[in-house]
Structure 1
Amino acid sequence: MTTRLPLVRGFTGFDAQASYLIKGYLPAQCAASIYGPSGSFKSFLAVSWACHIATGKPWNGCKVEHGAVLYVVGEGGVGVPRRIRAWTDEYNGCQDVPNVYRVDMPVFMADPLQVAELKIAAAQVRQETGLPVKLIVIDTVARCFGGADENRAADMGAFIAGCDTVKADTGATMLMVHHTGKDVANGARGSSAFKAALDAEFFVSREGDRAQSMILRATKMKDGEPPQDLAFDLKSRIVTYDDEGDEVTSLVVHDIGREPQDPEADGLSPTSKALFQAVKKASGEDGTTTKDKVRKVFQDMFVDGKKPNMSNFARYLKTLDGHGLITISGDEVRLVTLDDAIDE
């Protein structure tokens, strides 16, 4: 007697390479989410990813898998089409992105009939573009949740099951735009079953007091190392004019990230700021680390969209030491605390 279950021996498959829509960020054929508080630019990021995938253009210097995109605009309105127009003006020579298709109404993902209709829509997009649908955006979870309760595990399970059905049928990544609850520190709103079902999750927040910049942080990467936290600036673009001739604008995400602002690092060069962040990430609870640990973190970071010149690593460390942000003793590197500064 033999089983119909797929049996695999030992570590067979350990060297399988993860596949990505955006290398290092958004996995292929997965369930993913961008979440954040209101006004954190999360939908702008979703539009940016959608347009880069639809055109195959690199994002943040990372390879992108080209394919069609189906964007469910649950909140309706003109916001998303204006964001797409702003993106085309900035990155596509003002030419439209015909491989992005929109559904300008909510699709209730716990409703089998609406899920079936979404699968039909994806098949139509594939037929009309001649491309596989690589990404389906649900914007937002709340709008596509119907009258169910986000806090009930059973209701959230039904929502996720609908998304999984579409993912299995289309082979697309399901990217869900979601809100935080009243307490941002508690993560995405609703049942913990939501995060448990995700392969990748990204938290988006505004960068300090900057009006038009956000910080992107990977809070879950099931099958890979999370990318470093990066800040992304947004640029205003004129997308049309109203009946009185006044400008109508929207924002577009600058697709090359940078190190987030650090109040402690004011006055430093971009390279020094990045290295200071690397020291913080490499340090333990006591604020100490080693040069080798810092080097390993720093070499994977980006400074103005490029990897740092590691041949100057020792000089960069001395610069931080000279600014009183760290102390160096042999191979040990230690963050200088406020108490240390007072004692001196």
Structure 2
Amino acid sequence: MKLREKTDKNAKKIDHNWSDANDGIEQFRIKKSYGSDGYMHVLPWLVKHMVPASSVGLIYGRSQSFKTFFLIDKCCRVAAGLDYCGKPTKQGIVYLVAAEGGSGIAKRIRAWELENKTTVGNNLIVVPHTVFPTSDHQRQALIDDIKAECERQNKYIALVVFDTMSQCANGARENDAGEVSKYLNQCRSIATQVNCTVINVHHTKKDSDDFRGSSTIEGNLDFMIAVKRNASSKENLTTVRLHKMKEASTRYRWELALSEVEIDATDEEGNFVKTLCVHSNKVVHLSGESTDSQKKNPSQCEKDAEWILELLKVNNGELSLKQIQEIVISKVGKVKSLGMRVSRAKKHLADGGLITSEKTGAEVVIRLVTHESPIAA
């Protein structure tokens, strides 16, 4: 089935007003404001409530968490100008640097087009090799190509994706704060010069839901998105939550379902190729307030979860399961089925995106997920 791309030949020529590189000392200028100047600034979105425009962010998740399919769904919707969960997107050109191999990406994009009965056309550009933002030559080559493509198509650039960060970091050590900061600063340089959002795709630590590498990664980003597969379900389900959002609420979560799509391409034996594609998604707002019924009749698991949250808050946001059990015993004595209750409460909090866990040796350590204030410095 052939899908046509819609074009507007009468579109007015766009003045992109590109920003200049600011690498030399002689070009440096101090930007400043006074007092509360700019307090009425409205945060522009690329994808409402999920991805700010003109920002730098990270998507991370375990292997086989469906993060690539989530990424393709988001890229295609921005390229095609389709809503995401009923919320608007800012349409524009998308560059997807598929550093781990672009051969399968085209099939997944085609599956998305067939599933959504539309086409992304020239708006989604796949680069099937690594690009190193820390290389002055390669970074400038990418910027020049983006500018040329925008001029040729008479469109704006919306998004640049590096999949993955480890492949595009040019050997930078993820646990080295200085090297990580340099890499992300160069990503921000790209975002600034072409006025777009830059996203890196990243992995988690081994046997953990935490992102891999230095904590400096979080400090250098405007937003972070965690993707976690629903392993308990037989269906292809995954949950997307906001780990960090610098200037807006993190109280949103998206639940995605994937299905197999047969595309109009064949393998060596002449059989039609099948691949997964996001076919439904819904957004859940995580209200900080409980309903009256929940206040009157919370389950034992919810009570235990709330108590563990309070323990984490007064212990710098981190405790091992053994430490939690020891605190409980020291305060109330022996409790029947304590290990099982703590384990269930841990799962309840993890499913709600309130904690992460990591196995360290024989210990399981849980950490409180810090939600940013709606307005951050």
Sort the TM-score into its range (normalised by shorter chain): 0.7 to 0.9
1:240-284 deviation per Cα after TM superposition (whole angstroms, max 9, x unaligned): 21121223111111353266xxxxxxxxxxxxxx9xxx6xx64xx
1:88/1:97 contact within 8 Å kept? no
Q: Which amino acid aligns with 2:45?
A: Y
Secondary structure of 1:257's aligned partner: strand
Secondary structure of 1:254's aligned partner: strand
Q: CA deviation at 1:183?
A: 4.2
The alignment status of 1:98 with 2:98, answered yes or no, reads: no
Give matches, 1:112-261, under 5 Å: 112-185=136-209, 187-210=210-233, 211-239=235-263, 240-257=265-282
1:182-241 deviation per Cα after TM superposition (whole angstroms, max 9, x unaligned): 1424x2111212111110101001013234111001000000011422311012111221
What is aligned with 1:76? 101
Kindly tell me: are residues 143 and 339 of structure 1, through their superposed partners in 2, closer, same or farther at Cα, counting changes over 3 Å?
A: closer
Kindly tell me: are residues 169 and 249 of structure 1, through their superposed partners in 2, closer, same or farther at Cα, counting changes over 3 Å?
A: same
Secondary structure of 1:248's aligned partner: strand
What is aligned with 2:370? none
Q: CA deviation at 1:79?
A: 1.9
**Alpha-carbon distance between aligned partners in 2 of 1:73 and 1:136, rounded to the nearest angstrom:** 11
**Alpha-carbon distance between aligned partners in 1 of 2:60 and 2:302, rounded to the nearest angstrom:** 36
Secondary structure of 2:158's aligned partner: strand
**Alpha-carbon distance between aligned partners in 1 of 2:180 and 2:301, rounded to the nearest angstrom:** 45
Q: Please, which runs of 5 or more residues in structure 2 have no aligned partner? A: 1-28, 304-335, 337-377
The alignment status of 1:44 with 2:69, answered yes or no, reads: yes
What is aligned with 2:296? 333
Secondary structure of 1:190's aligned partner: coil
**Alpha-carbon distance between aligned partners in 1 of 2:134 and 2:32, rounded to the nearest angstrom:** 33
**Alpha-carbon distance between aligned partners in 1 of 2:185 and 2:165, rounded to the nearest angstrom:** 13
When the two structures are superposed, what TM-score results if normalisation uses the length of structure 2?
A: 0.68
Kindly tell me: are residues 197 and 28 of structure 1, through their superposed partners in 2, closer, same or farther at Cα, counting changes over 3 Å?
A: same
From 79, 83, 86, the equivalent of 1:61 is: 86
Kindly tell me: are residues 339 and 82 of structure 1, through their superposed partners in 2, closer, same or farther at Cα, counting changes over 3 Å?
A: closer
**Alpha-carbon distance between aligned partners in 1 of 2:190 and 2:33, rounded to the nearest angstrom:** 27
Q: Please, which runs of 5 or more residues in structure 1 have no aligned partner? A: 260-273, 283-292, 296-313, 318-325, 327-331
1:74/1:107 contact within 8 Å kept? yes
Secondary structure of 2:166's aligned partner: coil
**Alpha-carbon distance between aligned partners in 2 of 1:25 and 1:255, rounded to the nearest angstrom:** 17
Q: CA deviation at 1:49?
A: 1.1
**Alpha-carbon distance between aligned partners in 1 of 2:72 and 2:251, rounded to the nearest angstrom:** 20
Kindly tell me: are residues 8 and 202 of structure 1, through their superposed partners in 2, closer, same or farther at Cα, counting changes over 3 Å?
A: same
Q: CA deviation at 1:34?
A: 0.7
1:11-63 deviation per Cα after TM superposition (whole angstroms, max 9, x unaligned): 22222110000111100000011100101111111111111111111011111
Secondary structure of 1:81's aligned partner: helix
RMSD (CA atoms): 2.3
When the two structures are superposed, what TM-score results if normalisation uses the length of structure 1?
A: 0.74
**Mean Cα displacement is larger for which, 189-198 or 17-26?**
189-198
Secondary structure of 1:15's aligned partner: coil
**Alpha-carbon distance between aligned partners in 2 of 1:132 and 1:175, rounded to the nearest angstrom:** 17
**Alpha-carbon distance between aligned partners in 1 of 2:110 and 2:147, rounded to the nearest angstrom:** 25
Q: Once the two structures are aligned, what percentage of the paired residues are identical?
A: 28
**Mean Cα displacement is larger for which, 18-27 or 143-152?**
143-152
Kindly tell me: are residues 339 and 101 of structure 1, through their superposed partners in 2, closer, same or farther at Cα, counting changes over 3 Å?
A: closer
Query: Which of structure 1's runs of 4+ aligned residues deviate more than 4 A?
Result: 4-7
Q: CA deviation at 1:77?
A: 3.6
Kindly tell me: are residues 177 and 58 of structure 1, through their superposed partners in 2, closer, same or farther at Cα, counting changes over 3 Å?
A: same
Q: Which amino acid aligns with 2:155?
A: L
2:252/2:283 contact within 8 Å kept? no
The alignment status of 1:8 with 2:59, answered yes or no, reads: no
Q: CA deviation at 1:334?
A: 4.0
**Alpha-carbon distance between aligned partners in 2 of 1:151 and 1:90, rounded to the nearest angstrom:** 40
Q: Which amino acid aligns with 2:174?
A: E
What is aligned with 2:22? none
What is aligned with 1:285? none
